[in-house]
Amino acid sequence: MSHLNMFWSSMKREIVCMSREQRRSLLAGLTRPKPLCIAHRGASGHRLENTLEAFELAARLNADMWEIDVQLTADGVCVVSHDDNLNKNAGVDVRIQDVSYERLRAYRLHNGEPVPSVREVIQLARQTGCGLYIELKAEGSGPKVVDLLKEMNFSNVVIGSFKTSRLAELAALHCPYPLSVLVPAGADPFSLAETGCADMIHLCWEKASDTPHELLSDELIAKAQARQLPIVIWHEERANEIARLMRMPVWGICSDLPEMVSAYHPHPDNPIQIVCHRGANTIAPENTLASAELGYRMGAETIELDLNTTADGQLVVIHDDTLDRTTNLNGPVCQRTLAELSLCDAGSWFHPNYRTEEVSAFVTYLALADRYQKSLFVELKAANAGRVMEEVAARNAWSRCFFWSFDFASVDLIQSNYPQARVMRRRQDYPNLAVLLATGTPYVVEYDHLIDDLSEFAQCRASGAKVMVRFFADQLDAAVALIGLKPDMVNIDDPFTFSRAYGIWLKSGYPGIATPCEESQSIQIAGRTQDA
């Protein structure tokens, strides 16, 4: 459940009878460690925009809200599509406003889904605990959307439009939901907000500059705060811009890549580093550049990968020693050249959107880690240790890697012959910690959360090793308990579930850390004091 939805849930007894002004005041006063994450048309950087698939994925990527666009069919049904024509997303020249809802459902979008109704999206938002940021595209869609929200008793919502007349219409009809005016580059947000009776200003300035954050002047921010107008930011996918915007007093940031806004940021008192096992492999195909980049973007420090060797002696990243499971090729990896593997399809087995993913060379991952200024956890499968060290040395990537293998002799060789290399040892492979440490102090000792003694962390650290816990489960309760043990790292399949668990752990009242609820201001609502 998102932070925003937990907030609305805490108010469920009062919210039914709240006015728009009361809801606006609550939203304006809502404080949190970082701006809300609004997935632009869902996770549209990963899936087809404005589809149930894109919205469901946005929820998994820890978005707080989904930005959706509303059109009307010929018989007045509210549906979700940015364009009124199906050309872009379905390849057919059909205008939504010209066909009935029943007829519209007969067309299939490029991902195989029909155009979703707003009702369906509300139902999914309720199931996943996400809010809706609704942009009114079609004339006359506003009152119909409001009626539908009331009918379905859905309150975690903001309604917006570029057209001030559509917002003013809803204000005149005593719409109970906060209204946001979308502001094009060059326009005055405050005059538009006044004309449209808006409660928020949504600055659509992504194309106004290479550094549009500079347009958010101190004067503009102060004026917005004085008028109690929360600021929502354009859809942004530039890492440097997002980093700057996250430090500014804005209410929400839209993004096609919601993992960049909802990214994992551990508290300094418990700075657990995420190690993504084979990349973010629950969202993108394992051991591909897509899964590695997704992991880095969401805040993981390290990507775990597996090395095998090609017929022409190149080191490549793939888990199995055969190609059958994760590519469109078959047979042993060692019987194919790097050139052959660079042309294979290593992603369609997971999702059609990843059909261009290939089996990539180890050097490509070294370059990726360097670009993100992050790390790799390298497991040697069918890979010569000396050859691996040569590639790491050639790029001076010692500080960006640590190594392990089921072949203990390879780990021993690395540790003895390459003192600048860092190795990992598994606690489960030794009768006790003293025997493990007798092999030489590793950079990391990995503990399995199910079978190892998790009370040894202090002893392990005292020897000079870091503690990493292998946690391949997806249970939130177990993850929250593990976070309380404060390991240095976690080796996990699903970093997004872990990030949610970390948020739960923070809100559980860890001593010395102020939670968002503790930091929030008291706001007068309907004559009573509530904590937002």
Active site residues: 277, 319
3-state DSSP helix/strand/coil percent for the chain, to nearest 5?
Answer: 35, 20, 45
- What count of other Cβ atoms lies within 10 Å of the Cβ of residue 92? 11
Phi and psi at residue 220, to the nearest 5°: -65, -45
SS3 labels along 247-279: CCCCCEEEECCHHHCCCCCCCCCCCCEEEEECC
Q: Is 281 helix (H, G, I), strand (E, B) or coil?
A: coil
DSSP H helical ranges for 395-491: 408-417, 433-437, 457-462, 476-484
Phi, psi of 95 (to 5 degrees): -90, 130
CA pair distance 163, 398, nearest whole angstrom? 55
- DSSP symbols for 372-416: HT-EEEEEESS--HHHHHHHHHHTT-GGGEEEE-S-HHHHHHHHH
- CA–CA separation, 205 vs 182, rounded Å? 10
d(CA 51, CA 81): 8
Two structure tokens written together for 208: 């106004």
Residue 88 tokens read as 């872009």
Q: Alpha carbon 34 to chain centroid distance?
A: 14
Taking the CA atoms of residue 256, residue 262, residue 264 and residue 269 in that order, the dihedral angle to the nearest 10 degrees is 150
Pairing of strands 78-80, 252-255: unpaired
Output the CA torsion 83→87→88→89 (10° steps).
90
Residue type at position 337: T
**Residue 96 near residue 81 (C-beta atoms within 8 A):** yes
What is residue 162's DSSP assignment? S
DSSP 316: E
| 109 touches 90 (CB < 8 A) | yes
